[in-house]
Amino acid sequence: MARQNRQKKKSGRDWKSLRQAPTRKPGTRIAWWRRAKIRFHTVALCLAGTCGFAFLVVAVSYFTSNPLEVNLAGPSGTVDVIDFQTNGSLGKAWAVKTLDIPKETRLMDLNLHALKKRIESEGQVSSVILQRRYPHMLRIKVTEHLPILKIYIADPELGKKCLLVSESGVVFEGIGQPEQMVGGLPILFGGKLLKDSEGFLPLKVVSKIKPLLDAARKKYPHIFRDWNRIRYESLEGQDALVGLVRINSPLAKEVIFSTEMDFMTQLERLDYVLNYSNREGWTPLSLVDLPGRKSATVRLSGEMPRTIIGQSQLF
């Protein structure tokens, strides 16, 4: 290297010793445009690369956490196994009976659409997914309506019957539901139960009392547990927003809630009234009328109504 340097020094300068500065200010407008174009392309390329990389990261993380279920078609045999999965009380026996698949039917020959319709015709079923698992298995994944209320009907066709009501108002028979659970459900009164060719229509009234039931179940389960009858009374016709909810329980023969007032406030009042009444030995109460402006009205059994003033002027 030293020899090369010495040789270069001795032999004089060549043109390559001149400093070139191609990144300096462009000499003409054409050069300026060219540089701007190159920079724009570079930035666009970087952005596209970054977006692509980000998409890749998101896609990889998504598919890692939600792996794709790949169904590979293989040899198709007879349906020997039914894999039944549900979130409710329906059982595999019910599914086998409902589907009624003839013996020796090949998995590939199943009409999944028809089978799906058959299962969904049962009111208790919210949705169903049917999958072929080659070579012999039919997988059924059912999502059921879960009951929150029950109703008693006297139908000319069905006779006297107890039906269950889901939180979306769907009325169904309640196949396989444990008796103890059904017995603990409050009975719903009021509201009009309509029927068409496919069965009962959803009860609209449920949507009005559902917030009360949710709040009571979540915040005051000890109170909710005792509710055995719930009645909704519309004040201005069937579809009006404002109505009263009348509830019967062992501690208070009748508790009145109003949909016009916040249910949580009314539940707080009820909790206070019941606690107070228990301490005073007044239970069971005859009536608790909760939606007063600043107070709740309580009527003791066989006495005149009286007003209870809360400690924190809550009422």
Partner 1 sequence: MSRNKIIGAVEIGTSKVLVLVAELVDGKSLNLIGFGRKPSAGIKKGEIIDFKYASRVTHAAIDEAEKSAGVNIDSIYLALSGGHLGGSFNKGSAQVSSHDGRVVEQDTLRAIEDAKSKRLPDKRLYIHHIRNPFLLDKKSVKSPIGMQGEMLEVGFWSVHGDESTIGNYLHVVNGFGLEVDDMIISSICSGEAVVFPATKEMGALVVDIGRGTTDYALFRNGNIIRTGVVCVGGDHLTNDLSMGLRISPKEAEELKKREGSLDAEKLVPGSKAKVMLRGDYTIGDREIPFQSIYKILQARVEELFQIIKSDLGELLDTDDLAGRVVLTGGSSQLTGIDETAARVLGMQVEMGELPNWVDESLRVPGNSTVLGLLRYASNHHNLNAVTSQNSGFLGKLRSIFKPKRLEVA
- What's the rounded Cα separation, in Å, for the pair 207 and 209? 6
Q: Quick one: 38 or 96, whose CB is closer to partner 1?
A: 38
Least CB distance to partner 1 at residue 58 (A): 31
Least CB distance to partner 1 at residue 43 (A): 16
Residues that bind partner 1 (CB under 8 A): 3, 7, 10-15, 17-18, 20-24, 26-28, 30-31, 34-35, 38
Reported as type and span, the H/E element at residue 144 is: strand 137-144
| 34: number of Cβ within 10 Å | 12
Q: Is 135 left (phi over 0), alpha (psi -120 to 50) or beta?
A: alpha
| 310: number of Cβ within 10 Å | 15
Which residue, 48, 131, 52, is CA-closest to 84? 131
- What's the rounded Cα separation, in Å, for the pair 302 and 250? 16
Least CB distance to partner 1 at residue 46 (A): 17
Least CB distance to partner 1 at residue 44 (A): 15
Q: Quick one: 25 or 192, whose CB is closer to partner 1?
A: 25
Three-state SS across 156-193?
Answer: CCCEEEEEEEECCCCEECCCCCCHHHHHHCCEEECCCC
Least CB distance to partner 1 at residue 9 (A): 10
Q: Quick one: 18 or 154, whose CB is closer to partner 1?
A: 18
Q: Is 174 left (phi over 0), alpha (psi -120 to 50) or beta?
A: left
Q: Quick one: 2 or 68, whose CB is closer to partner 1?
A: 2
Q: Quick one: 28 or 311, whose CB is closer to partner 1?
A: 28
Three-state SS across 223-238?
Answer: HHCCCCEEEEEECCCC
Residue 239 identity: D
273, 299 contact by CB (below 8 A):
no
- What's the rounded Cα separation, in Å, for the pair 306 and 287? 10
Q: Quick one: 11 or 312, whose CB is closer to partner 1?
A: 11
Q: Quick one: 12 or 156, whose CB is closer to partner 1?
A: 12
Least CB distance to partner 1 at residue 45 (A): 13
Straight-line distance from the first to the last Cα atom of the chain, in angstroms, rounded to the nearest whole number: 98
Q: Quick one: 23 or 65, whose CB is closer to partner 1?
A: 23
